[in-house]
């Protein structure tokens, strides 16, 4: 942790944590709009805001995770010119699912282990089932074939991206 | 009262989930970003500004693809240039004979693509021209190859174009050779589909697909793509027509916005007639 922001200070101050989450969400949105196209594979990109939602749900609990998911989803809808509300719904559900894995004072243990990847995958599946259900509504295609093509790929790519925060927390080892 | 509070505290997660789900559905009923009025202009402007800051970063995949496409285009153009010269002479003679009115030419506004959101199946492009340069919502966007999409939002200096490869794409179109009508749609792949073409109608591979006069959004005879394959749909009266888009969306860098806005009088008349017919059928 940088000397400007002490970890203990961050852990004890919920306002500071909330502000950090907001800043990270905004940075992720900018990355999504500007840079993510460089690492897209057949239009599939990792969902960074979903990873953030899972992180918040594991750190703060299910109740906060729900609202974080809703806020991240709204932000995602706005920056990606999508139908407002679809990502909000999907990420709220993802936050709810991730919140089931919340363990008080053991958040970093969850995030720094393979458990985190499993939680991201589970939340990603729920997120993408909901999201693509609404996405394919105006199209004449089968939901399941579309989900199996894009939903599964997006979930896998997001899980791969979740390896980085997992390794970062794992290397700290001071939890 | 105490029991009620205890109930709320006990089930707060489920209550919050229900409230947020209801809010999400309420927001969805607003529709897409294009219906959010002034807010849309702020979003389009902000995203456009951010993307313009980083528009100089080259995308190696796009550059390679562009090189290949340009080589192919160069070859095609040299062949077509010779054909066009001959066709122009013939055309001019025939027009005189038939006294056809000259084809209307729409004015074009050249714009650079400063950002593309081709990720997560949200296929949009951001242009560096906006209302100040005459770009308005509803105008269509083309390249030398063909139709790119339609402007769905514009701020003063930026505009967002919904590309053809988008779930909301519905274009009244026709086969240029046989005049068979259909509707162009996108099914989530790298190609388009021409829908509502009966099995008995004449559509062949390599046929050119253009916008139809029936379209209230796009000017007629703008190239959309070429037929890749034609097959009969199972258990259906219609053909399955796969169309390759004429435009290479990976290498999209410069586009032209066509200064063509659908005629309000026509749209309101069609809407009025539809509403009247719906009213009669309900009676």
What are A48-101's pLDDT values in tens digits?
999 999 999 999 999 999 999 999 998 888 887 777 888 999 999 999 999 999
This prediction has a pTM of 0.67
Q: Over the range A61-72, which residues count as b (16 or more CB within 10 Å of their CB) and which as e?
A: bbbbbbebbbbb
The predicted model gives B1-24 an average pLDDT of 86
Q: Which residue has the higher pLDDT, A40 or B20?
A: B20
* Whether the predicted pLDDT of A2 surpasses 70: no
CA–CA separation, A75 and A31 (whole Å): 13
B172 shares its domain with B73: no
B187 shares its domain with B82: no
pLDDT tens, residue by residue, B174-192: 998 888 889 998 877 778 8
For the residues of B236-278, what is the DSSP string, one character each?
Answer: SSBEEEEEEESS-GGG--EEEEE-----HHHHHHHHHHHHHHH
The pLDDT value recorded for residue A92 is 94
The pLDDT value recorded for residue B119 is 59
Residues A130/A95, Cβ–Cβ less than 8 Å: no
Residues B244/B133, Cβ–Cβ less than 8 Å: no
- Would B88 be classed as within a structural domain? yes
Selected residues 121-160 of chain A with any CB under 8 Å from a CB in chain B = 134-136, 138-141, 146, 149-150, 154
B152 shares its domain with B217: yes
Interface membership of B16 toward A (CB under 8 Å): yes
Total residue count of chain A as it appears in this document:
175
Q: Which of A63, A73, A140 sits opposite B187 (nearest CB)?
A: A140
State the residue for tokens 């006990």: B10
Count of domains forming chain B: 2
What is the β-pairing status of strands B254-258 and B140-142?
Answer: antiparallel
The pLDDT value recorded for residue A1 is 41
CA–CA separation, B163 and B166 (whole Å): 6
Residue of chain B nearest A48, judged by CA positions: B120
Task: Give me chain B's average pLDDT, please.
Answer: 79
Q: Which of A80, A84, A135 sits opposite B167 (nearest CB)?
A: A135
B157: region left, alpha or beta (phi > 0 left; psi from -120 to 50 alpha): alpha
B183 shares its domain with B209: yes
B73 shares its domain with B195: no
Q: Which residue has the higher pLDDT, B257 or A40?
A: B257
State the residue for tokens 């995308």: B59
The predicted model gives A169-174 an average pLDDT of 77
Q: Over the range B5-14, which residues count as b (16 or more CB within 10 Å of their CB) and which as e?
A: eeeeeeeebe
Between B92-101, B206-215, B262-271, the lowest mean confidence (pLDDT) is in B92-101
* Whether the predicted pLDDT of A102 surpasses 80: yes
Three-state DSSP at B31 gives coil
CA–CA separation, B68 and A112 (whole Å): 45
The pLDDT value recorded for residue B93 is 66
The pLDDT value recorded for residue B234 is 74
The pLDDT value recorded for residue B32 is 56
pLDDT tens, residue by residue, A107-138: 888 888 889 999 999 999 999 999 888 887 77
The pLDDT value recorded for residue B100 is 44
Interface membership of A26 toward B (CB under 8 Å): no
Q: Which residue has the higher pLDDT, B211 or B2?
A: B211
pLDDT tens, residue by residue, B48-91: 787 777 777 766 666 777 777 777 777 777 778 777 877 777 77
Between A22-26, B114-118, B170-174, the lowest mean confidence (pLDDT) is in B114-118
- Would B224 be classed as within a structural domain? yes
The predicted model gives B121-137 an average pLDDT of 85
CA–CA separation, A67 and B20 (whole Å): 8
* Whether the predicted pLDDT of B270 surpasses 90: no
B90 shares its domain with B144: no
Domain A7-172 belongs in CATH node 1.10.1760.20: yes
Residues B148/B171, Cβ–Cβ less than 8 Å: no
The pLDDT value recorded for residue B83 is 78
Report which of A75, A78, A57, A74 is spatially closest to residue A66, judged by C-alpha positions.
A57
Q: Which of A30, A86, A141 sits opposite B187 (nearest CB)?
A: A141
Q: Which residue has the higher pLDDT, B225 or A143?
A: B225
* Other Cβ atoms within 10 Å of B216 Cβ, number: 12
Report which of B147, B108, B109 is spatially closest to residue B129, judged by C-alpha positions.
B109
What are the structure tokens assigned to B99, written together?
A: 């006294």
Interface membership of A32 toward B (CB under 8 Å): yes
Judge: A81–B117 Cβ closer than 8 Å, yes or no.
yes
- Would B16 be classed as within a structural domain? no
The predicted model gives B235-244 an average pLDDT of 85
- For B244, half-sphere exposure in the C-beta direction (CA atoms, 13 angstrom radius) is 10
Report which of B212, B231, B139, B208 is spatially closest to residue B170, judged by C-alpha positions.
B212
CA–CA separation, B63 and B54 (whole Å): 16
- H or E stretch at B185: strand B181-186
**Chain B nearest CA to A6, separation (Å):** 31
Residue A32: list chain B partners with CB under 8 A: 119
B70 shares its domain with B154: no
Residues B262/B138, Cβ–Cβ less than 8 Å: yes
Helices A14-34 & B38-53, crossing angle to 10 degrees?
70
Interface membership of A14 toward B (CB under 8 Å): no
Question: What's B145's domain CATH number?
Answer: 2.40.10.340
The pLDDT value recorded for residue B22 is 92
Selected residues 90-119 of chain A with any CB under 8 Å from a CB in chain B = 92-93, 96, 99
Please give the ipTM for the structure prediction. 0.86
The predicted model gives B106-110 an average pLDDT of 81
Domain that holds residue B86: 66-102
B190 shares its domain with B71: no
Judge: B185–A34 Cβ closer than 8 Å, yes or no.
no
Q: Which of B120, B150, B166, B192 to substitute to test the interface with A, most A CBs within 10 Å?
A: B120
The pLDDT value recorded for residue B97 is 55
- Would B30 be classed as within a structural domain? no
Residues A52/A69, Cβ–Cβ less than 8 Å: no
pLDDT tens, residue by residue, A144-168: 877 887 888 889 999 999 999 999 8
Interface membership of B173 toward A (CB under 8 Å): no
Q: Which of A26, A81, A148 to substitute to test the interface with B, most B CBs within 10 Å?
A: A81
B90 shares its domain with B133: no
Judge: B24–A62 Cβ closer than 8 Å, yes or no.
no
In chain B, the N- to C-terminal Cα span, in Å, equals 51
């Amino acid at each position: 942790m940088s000397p400007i922001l002490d970890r203990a200070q961050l852990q004890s101050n919920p306002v500071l944590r909330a502000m950090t989450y907001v800043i990270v969400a905004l940075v992720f949105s900018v990355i999504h709009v500007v840079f993510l196209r460089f690492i897209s594979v057949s239009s599939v990109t990792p969902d960074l805001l979903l990873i953030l939602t899972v992180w918040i749900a594991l750190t703060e609990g299910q109740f906060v995770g729900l609202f974080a998911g809703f806020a991240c989803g709204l932000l995602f809808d706005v920056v990606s010119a999508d139908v407002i509300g679809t990502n909000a719904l999907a990420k709220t559900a993802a936050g709810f699912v991730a919140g089931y894995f919340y363990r008080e004072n053991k958040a970093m243990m969850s995030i720094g282990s393979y458990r985190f990847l499993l939680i991201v995958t589970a939340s990603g599946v729920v997120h993408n089932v909901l999201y693509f259900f609404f996405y394919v509504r105006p199209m004449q295609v089968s939901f399941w074939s579309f989900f199996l093509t894009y939903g599964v790929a997006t979930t896998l790519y997001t899980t791969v991206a979740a390896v980085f925060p997992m390794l970062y927390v794992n290397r700290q080892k001071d939890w | 009262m105490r029991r009620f509070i205890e109930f709320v505290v006990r089930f707060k997660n489920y209550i919050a989930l229900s409230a947020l789900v209801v809010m999400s559905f309420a927001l969805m009923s607003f529709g897409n970003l294009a219906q959010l009025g002034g807010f849309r202009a702020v979003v389009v402007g902000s995203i456009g500004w951010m993307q313009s800051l980083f528009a100089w970063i080259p995308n190696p995949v796009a550059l390679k693809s562009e090189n290949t496409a340009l080589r192919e285009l160069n070859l095609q153009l040299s062949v077509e240039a010779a054909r066009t010269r001959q066709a122009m002479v013939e055309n001019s003679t025939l027009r005189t004979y038939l006294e056809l009115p000259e084809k209307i030419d729409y004015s074009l506004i050249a714009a650079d693509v400063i950002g593309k959101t081709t990720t997560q199946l949200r296929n949009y492009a951001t242009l560096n021209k906006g209302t100040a340069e005459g770009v308005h919502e509803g105008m269509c966007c083309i390249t030398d190859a063909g139709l790119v999409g339609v402007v769905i939002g514009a701020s003063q200096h930026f505009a967002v174009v919904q590309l053809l490869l988008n779930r909301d794409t519905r274009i009244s179109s026709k086969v240029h050779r046989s005049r068979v009508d259909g509707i162009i749609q996108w099914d989530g792949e790298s190609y388009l589909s021409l829908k509502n073409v009966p099995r008995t109608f004449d559509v062949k591979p390599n046929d050119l697909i253009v916008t139809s006069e029936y379209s209230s959004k796009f000017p007629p005879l703008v190239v959309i793509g070429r037929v890749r394959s034609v097959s009969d749909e199972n258990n259906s009266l219609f053909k399955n027509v796969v169309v390759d888009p004429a435009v290479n969306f990976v290498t999209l860098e410069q586009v032209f916005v066509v200064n063509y806005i659908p005629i309000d009088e026509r749209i309101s008349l069609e809407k009025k007639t539809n509403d009247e017919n719906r009213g009669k059928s309900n009676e």
